[in-house]
Amino acid sequence: MEKFEKLSGVAAPMPLVNIDTDMIIPKQFLKTIKRSGLGVNLFQEMRYDQDGNEIPDFVLNKPAYRNAEILVAGENFGCGSSREHAPWAIQDFGIRCVIAPSFADIFFNNCFKNGILPIALPQEQVDILMKEAEKGENARIEVDLENQKITIPDGTAFSFDVDPFRKHCLLNGLDDIGLTMEKSNAIDAYESKLGAQMPWM
């Protein structure tokens, strides 16, 4: 998993509440078990018309936001069914951070497991970031995980909370497999010892 330390990027404004996982990645794309390739279908039904053509007014289709790395959204982001494909699609598109007043629990947890930083902030702070994001590609937002701070171009900064263990995992690029591999020496030693004691196993 890619490390998340400090991100300075374009933020796309999506001032909608209750964006659910089916809006993020519709059910017909859940057949794959690969984490890659879903970015093109992110927000499929909002991005494309019935003929597969881009809808120009959708935020991620606008030239200023095609390379957005941050998403600023409304409350209860990621609600609905518990599909890990939702953060897979977000990450595959290139978005590394989602900022909203609140998140659905399962989606929130899945973000950390996939290298995405979800940040919950008070509504008034999200409103400020939303206005900043609406300025387009010239208004970049900086997210500093180490210092737990978001900074906008005029110098205004907001602090955010993050669980220390999840912060450690993101800073070091550790998903569940990576955490297990940190114990590889202990695992190897145990297997060697067990092999000597029970060679028939």
Average pLDDT for 130-152:
94
Which amino acid appears at position 16 of this protein? L
Pairing mode of beta strands 140-144, 149-151: antiparallel
Instruction: Give the model's pLDDT for residue 138.
Output: 79
**The CATH classification of domain 6-172, taken from the options 3.20.19.10, 3.40.50.2000, 3.40.50.2300, 3.40.190.170:** 3.20.19.10
Place of tokens 């509504």: 123
Indicate whether 28 pLDDT > 70. Answer: yes
> C-alpha angle with apex 70: 64 to 75, nearest 5 degrees?
115
Q: Greater confidence, 178 or 88? A: 88
Cα 69 to the chain's mean position, in Å? 9
Whether 187 has a pLDDT exceeding 80, the answer reads no
Return the pLDDT at 181. 62
* CB 74 within 8 Å of CB 103: no
This prediction has a pTM of 0.88
For helices 85-93 and 105-113, angle between their N-to-C axes, nearest 10 degrees:
50
Q: DSSP state, 121?
A: -
Q: What's the pLDDT band for 1 if we cut at 50, 70, 90?
A: confident
For the chain, give the percent of residues with pLDDT over 70: 89
Distances (CA, A) of 26 to 21, 22, 38, 39, 46: 7, 4, 10, 12, 11
Query: So what's the pLDDT on residue 10?
Result: 96
Q: What is the mean pLDDT of the chain?
A: 91
